[in-house]
Amino acid sequence: MSVPVAEPSNPLLDAYRRHPGLGRVDELVAGPEVQPQAQLLAETIGTLGLPQLLTARAEAARQVADEGISYGSRRRPWRVDPLPLPLDEAEWTTLEHGLAQRARLLDAVLADLYGPRTLLRQRVLPPAAILSHPGFARVADGSVQAGQRQLLTTATDLGRSPDGTWQVISDRLGTPAGAGYAMATRRIVSKVLAGLHRASDLARLRGFFVSMTGALLDAAGSAEVPRVVLLSPGADSRSSYDQGFLAALLGFPLAEADDLVIRQGRVWLRAGDQLEPVDVILRRVSDDQADPLEFRSSSEVGLPGLVEASRLGNVRVANPIGVEVLDNPALLAHLPEVCAALLGEQPLLASPDTWWCGEPASASHVRAHLDELVIKPVARTGVAPVRYGWLLSATEREELLARITAQPWAWCGQAPVELSTAPVVTSDGLEPRRFVLRSFGVATADGYRFLPGGLGRVASSTSELTVSSDLGALAKDVWVPASVAETSASDGRRPRLTVARESAVPPRVARALMTIGRTAERAESTARLLKVADDLAEDFGSRPGSAGAAATSTLLGAVGRITGVERSVAESGVGYLTRVALDETAIGGVHHSVRRLIGEALSVRDLMSVDLWSVFGRLEQTLAEPPADSDQLQPLLADVLESLLAYAGIMAQSMVRDSSWAFLDAGGRLERAAHTVKLLATSLLEVDDPAAPTGELVADAVLRAGESIITHRRRAAAGTGPATGLESAVQLLLHDLSNPRSVAYQLAALAADLRLAGDGQLAEQAEAIASRLSEDAALADQLRELGDALDGLGRRIAARHFVRQATRHAAEASWSRPLEVR
């Protein structure tokens, strides 16, 4: 670290320096002085003061909510501390060199372990430390492709020791998560501390992702138009946000196992009833889940046959299956000897002193010094957590010793790393927390390149020893000067492809997109209907026996029959409408539709505009707050409609008109047509006399719910419309091809969408339904036939485009099946 700089008195920093949790090395201060790279940060802290820093913290939390950034299977909000952590230029350059050497070393180790195994035969590494490790995949033996980098991506957790040097805490090579979170954190901090960000000349992060895109495309080898997918465990994965955002940054589709299939030893992406070849898989599925034929047979997130396809060289997997043997702390004890044997060098980055208990002398040392060591299982199974020897009770100590004695090869002891601290904004001021840096690297033709700064994380409290997102760690934006950008992958360039290829839409994605379209339209149409019904209930609820009361009763009945939410006998009209709007358990209601809309959008996050998440956040917030009284339902529904219209505008103005758009729009068209048919059938058919006041009120309400009242009034005033409101509603909402709310319009648009999705046959069926629309037919018969036809068309679309694989565990039987390839 550079020489600290004296700093004028600053109350926040003065209190921070006196905090009992301050580390022997702190990333902001050094005694009475400030770290030189943090000079501008310290000045900003003094200028802003605690109130404005707390405002920045709150704004960061708000932006996290707006963008839907989450972590964990329960989608906890990603936690961001607004204060960045600056690194010195020379220090980052040195760190990069050490990380590059480590990546080359581990790449060579992996090639040796699944190749000649010279390290084991010559006892540079103890064979038992490798062969007994759960991450050693015997089925991957011989899968090393000569002349290729084995590690395409890397992630390494580092901590600063009391002497100021960086030490490697662990490697994260199996499914190295976090690069997407690093970019998201940078976006947030650059906004909440915009002045400081503008005043700091920082290395941009985008270049790393461009380099990563190029490296993965290059990994496809001779493929003329390579296809790369990011294999995800699904939307319920702890890091699903990171996966979706990374896929969007790289420009590759996010795929799940059901989207892929193995045929004739190759991986194919399912696109309707066709298959498209996959050349490279960037995976976020762990080794033991990646291939149910070779590992855990119960896995629903893996691809049967992936190991064999990789062994045949028909697909590159980044990182290769079997790499988790390197996420093994037992290797650290022998890394200097391994580095000398493979690279002829000494490690540039140190690791904590480590003793693997599979060696008798090391086991004796661990048992004798248990109270001073960090005890780790050699495999990250989640069953045996890291133990801090000095924190164990007598009973826990004896139990742990017994486990080590029973399975010594499964344990190692490490000297504790006294991590540096970094400041976190709290309501009481700045608080020092233990700091860990995660770096991200990618193998390019010019060597390994690294994300400038990486992702910083600080512990959830001053007393917390473990820095883990699972335990509530906060993210830190790590700043590196722009002058090192050339060595930090900022100069990466995306390769130019000679042929443009439309992105395939797998059945899972097609179903999700169409469901998004349907649920968004369902929420909007239902909200409109509720708004109109509430107007009538407010106006005529206290006037029983009136025409308005009868019209209100008709509309309330229509709400129940359309949504399927029944009204209880004692429930008031407004109370019932409020429940249909806000009860998230009421299937068919507004809140339920919105929740499903957001859930489906999360499953295809890589296709969604980033602007959507703030809209979804407002929607959820609006629907989570019940109105204080009945007068508040109207403004609540107006807010819901405003957000849903914002959603529709964003999607319409941001999605390319390809097959993804086709399925999304088709869902909305089909739902609007079906809703309109139900609305007409459950309201207009209940009217005895269209010309009577009740009939006119019902027709007026239907036209308002169908957003066609203005056109009706203009035509009526000009004398060009039908004689009654009921006839006008039927003409405008059923037959008028120029009205974007009519069934005829929806069917025409649906046919166009189906053609865009490549299904001319179903498009003709949609047109056939439209051709049967007749102004001369009896309304009841026509609406009944339309409802049945739309329902049947929806089922046929699902059967043709959304069929998931019946079983992926019988994949070995499909290797010789004939293909239809495009």
Q: Under DSSP, is residue 786 helix (H, G, I), strand (E, B) or coil?
A: helix
Model pLDDT for residues 720-774, shown as the tens digit of each residue = 878 788 999 999 999 999 999 999 999 999 999 999 999 999 999 999 999 999 8
Tens digit of pLDDT for each residue in 779-808? 999 999 999 999 999 999 999 999 776 544
Tell whether omega for the bond before 319 is within 30 degrees of 0, i.e. cis.
Answer: yes
What are the E-state strand segments in 132-198? Answer: 153-160, 166-171
Q: Beta strands of 415-568 (E only): which ranges?
A: 421-426, 429-444, 447-450, 455-458, 474-479
Question: Quick one: pLDDT band at residue 382, thresholds 50, 70, 90?
Answer: low
Residue 582: is its pLDDT beyond 60? yes
Q: 729: closest CA among 690, 699, 704?
A: 699
pLDDT in the model for residue 817: 38
| Cα separation, 42 vs 28, whole angstroms | 8
Cα distance from N-terminal residue to C-terminal residue, the chain: 56
pLDDT tens profile 80-123: 999 999 999 999 999 999 999 999 999 999 999 999 999 999 99
Residue from 233, 236, 248, 326 nearest 283 by CA = 233
Examine the pLDDT at 10 and tell me if it is beyond 90. no
Taking each continuous run of H as one helix and of E as one strand, the counts in the chain are 27, 24
Lowest mean pLDDT among 437-441, 486-490, 572-576: 486-490
Q: How would residue 483 be classed by pLDDT, with cut points 50, 70 and 90?
A: confident
In this structure, are residues 731 and 676 in contact, taking their beta carbons and an 8 Å threshold?
A: no
Nearest to 183 by CA among 452, 503, 562, 481: 452
How far, in Å, are 93, 384, 420, 458 from residue 99 at the CA level?
A: 10, 29, 19, 21
- What pLDDT band is residue 451 in, cutting at 50, 70 and 90? very high
How long a stretch of residues is the chain?
822
Which tens digits make up the pLDDT trace of 275-331?
Answer: 999 999 999 999 999 999 999 999 999 999 999 999 999 999 999 999 999 989 889
What token pair was written down for 150? 């084995």
The confidence band for 812, taking pLDDT boundaries of 50, 70 and 90, is very low
Looking at the chain, the whole-number percentage of residues with pLDDT higher than 90 is 79
Q: What top-level class would CATH report for the domain 353-414?
A: alpha beta
Note the pLDDT tens digit of each residue in 491-520.
445 554 444 456 678 999 999 999 999 999
Residue 663 makes CB contacts below 8 A (sequence gap 6+) with 505, 509, 510, 513, 514, 517, 753, 757, 801
What is the tens place of the pLDDT at every residue in 21-33? 999 999 999 999 9
The pLDDT confidence band at residue 484, using thresholds 50, 70 and 90, is low
Q: What is the mean pLDDT of residues 176-185?
A: 96
Model pLDDT, residue 223:
82
Residue-level pLDDT at 701: 96
Query: How many CA atoms lie less than 13 Å away from 70 in the CB half-sphere?
Result: 17
pLDDT score of 568 more than 50 = yes
List the chain domain ranges: 5-74, 85-330+418-487, 353-414, 507-800
Helix, strand or coil for residue 85? strand
More confident residue, 429 or 631: 429
C-alpha span between 453 and 99 (Å, rounded): 12
As a whole number, the mean pLDDT across the chain is 91
For the stretch 653-707, pLDDT in tens is 999 999 999 999 999 999 999 999 999 999 999 988 888 899 999 999 999 999 9
Quote the pLDDT of residue 6: 56
